[in-house]
């Protein structure tokens, strides 16, 4: 009888643990992710921002000149341009500017592609009531939806009119760097009439507001500023022009409603009158 010791099992030594069951695969995945993230960070840090396309000064003034002197009769004939009214009626104390005239307030940002669309219409509408100056050309952000949409900027604009005042705030530039800050009163209006703080926001004398863009910026994609201006002047029924002018006509109707004595040359036309009756 055997004493002590272990009964032999008859089996060989345990096979080595395969490499794929070791921590190697997991460590490899973690290491690969760490390397990838590091490379991305370095690339992002070293890569310069895409510079915006800049128009030549002569081209810029030509574009601005064109869009601010469009023939009212010809552009009014577009009517609504197939665009639903963007005007929302509001009830608040009439908004007047520093000179005591009814005021149009715009709040947006240069990066914003929807502001990019809406500014064309607002510039056309305002130009029917006075002289808009200091408007420059730019594009919306390169990294947002509808990238690099050609547009204007009101950052340094001025407006002179017998009937109306215009205040503009471009909160950031196209790279989202802070640019202009609303005054306390403008901020209050913005909060009161636009609880979601969406931009672009346009207040027509506290009688009507528009929030967001009335048409999608995709109609402007691939066009240059000059092409847009040329279409507005020469082909008002064109795909981009009809949208811009349709919204401009709605805005014109809103401005007309805000004025005590709206100018007949602008507000008395058949299409504008029709739109005024609908808002």
Q: Does 20 bind other proteins (CB under 8 A)?
A: yes
Closest-CA residue to 246 (of 129, 106, 77, 123): 77
Provide the H-helix boundaries in 194-269: 225-234, 239-258, 264-267
Task: Give the burial class of 25: count Cβ atoms within 10 A of its Cβ; 0-12 exposed, 13-18 middle, 19 or more buried.
Answer: exposed
Give the separation between CA 137 and CA 60, rounded to whole angstroms: 6
Name which of 41 and 265 has its Cβ closer to other proteins: 41
**Among 31, 37, 92, 99, which residue sits at the site for other proteins (rule: CB under 8 A)?**
37
**Among 1, 26, 56, 260, which residue sits at the site for other proteins (rule: CB under 8 A)?**
26
Give me Rg for the CA atoms of the chain: 30
DSSP state, residue 54: -
Q: Does 15 bind other proteins (CB under 8 A)?
A: yes
**Among 66, 144, 273, 279, which residue sits at the site for other proteins (rule: CB under 8 A)?**
144
Name which of 41 and 92 has its Cβ closer to other proteins: 41
Name which of 37 and 96 has its Cβ closer to other proteins: 37
| Spatial contact of 116 and 149, defined as CB atoms under 8 Å apart | yes
Name which of 38 and 158 has its Cβ closer to other proteins: 38
| Spatial contact of 185 and 168, defined as CB atoms under 8 Å apart | no
Sites for other proteins among residues 200-239 (CB under 8 A): none
Q: Does 143 bind other proteins (CB under 8 A)?
A: yes
Closest-CA residue to 251 (of 125, 163, 118): 125
Closest distance to other proteins from the beta carbon of 21 (Å): 5
Q: Does 265 bind other proteins (CB under 8 A)?
A: no
Closest-CA residue to 126 (of 205, 16, 11, 243): 205
**Among 44, 51, 98, 100, which residue sits at the site for other proteins (rule: CB under 8 A)?**
44
Name which of 44 and 98 has its Cβ closer to other proteins: 44
Name which of 40 and 71 has its Cβ closer to other proteins: 40
The token pair at 185 is: 């009163």
| Spatial contact of 103 and 97, defined as CB atoms under 8 Å apart | yes
Chain contacts with other proteins (rule: CB under 8 A): 15, 18, 20-21, 25-26, 29-30, 33, 36-37, 40-41, 43-44, 47, 143-147, 176, 196
């Amino acid at each position: 009888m055997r004493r002590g010791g272990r009964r032999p099992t008859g089996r060989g030594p345990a096979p080595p643990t395969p490499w794929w069951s070791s921590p190697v695969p997991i460590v490899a995945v973690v290491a690969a992710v760490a390397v990838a993230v590091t490379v991305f960070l370095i690339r992002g840090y070293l890569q310069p921002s895409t510079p915006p396309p800049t128009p030549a000064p002569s081209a810029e003034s030509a574009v601005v000149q064109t869009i601010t002197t469009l023939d009212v009769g010809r552009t009014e004939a577009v009517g609504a341009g197939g665009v639903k009214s963007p005007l929302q009626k509001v009830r608040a104390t009439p908004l007047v500017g520093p000179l005591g005239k009814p005021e149009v307030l715009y709040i947006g940002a240069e990066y914003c592609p929807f502001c990019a669309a809406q500014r064309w219409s607002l510039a056309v509408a305002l130009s029917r009531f006075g002289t808009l100056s200091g408007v420059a050309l730019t594009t919306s952000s390169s990294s947002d939806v509808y990238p690099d949409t050609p547009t204007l900027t009101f950052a340094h604009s001025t407006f002179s009119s017998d009937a109306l005042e215009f205040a503009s705030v471009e909160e950031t530039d196209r790279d989202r760097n802070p640019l202009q800050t609303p005054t306390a009163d403008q901020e209050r209006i913005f909060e009161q009439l636009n609880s979601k703080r969406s931009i672009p926001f346009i207040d027509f004398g506290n009688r009507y507001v528009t929030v967001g863009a009335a048409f999608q910026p995709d109609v402007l994609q691939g066009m240059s500023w000059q092409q847009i201006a040329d279409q507005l002047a020469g082909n008002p029924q064109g795909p981009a022009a009809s949208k811009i002018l349709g919204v401009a006509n709605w805005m014109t109707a809103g401005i007309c409603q805000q004025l005590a004595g709206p100018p007949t040359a602008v507000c008395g036309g058949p299409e504008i009158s029709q739109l005024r009756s609908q808002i």
